[in-house]
Amino acid sequence: MAKGSMRRFDTQAKYALYASVAGLFGLVGLAALVMRNYRKAEVAVVYSRDSMFAPVVFIATAVTLLLAATAAMMGFNSAGQKRNEKNKQSWIAFFVGTATASLAIIVFSVFWFYKLKI
C-alpha cells in the first residue's frame, strides 16, 4: 500500500487527529459566536431578524459536528489495530472528537433555547 493510503491505520490516525483539532477550532468559533450575542440582562442570545447570524450558527454547528464525527469514526476505526503504529493518536482523536461533538450540541442548544429575534 502507498504511504498516504487511507487504508493504512496509521494514516487514518493522523488524519483523525487533524480533523479533531479542526473540530476544536470550529467549537471555539461557535462558542465565541453564540456568546458574543448573549445578553446577561435578558438571559437571551439576541440577534436581528435581517442578520445572517442564525444561518452562520447553523453552518458552523454542522461543520463542527461533521469534523468531530469524522475524527471519532476514523479514530475508533484505527484504534487497537495491530498494524497501527500510532494507536495513541487514534484514541486521542476518538475522545476529542466525541467531546467536541457533545460540546457543539450543548452550545447549539444554548443558542436554540435562548434565541431572541429583534
For 20-76, how does the pLDDT look when each residue is reduced to its tens digit (9 = 90+)? 999 999 999 999 999 999 999 989 999 998 999 999 999 999 999 999 999 999 999
Helix (H) or strand (E) holding 6: none
Would you say the pTM of this structure is higher than 0.85?
A: yes
- For residue 85, the one-letter residue type is E
Positive or negative, the CA dihedral 13, 24, 109, 99 is positive
Q: At 114, list the grid cell.
A: 435562548
Joined grid coordinates for residue 86: 500510532
Residues 104, 32 contacting (CB under 8 angstroms): no
Residue 6 has pLDDT above 70, yes or no: no
Residue 107 falls in which region: left (phi positive, over 0), alpha (psi -120 to 50) or beta: alpha
Going through the chain in order, the beta strands assigned E by DSSP cover 38-39, 44-47, 115-117
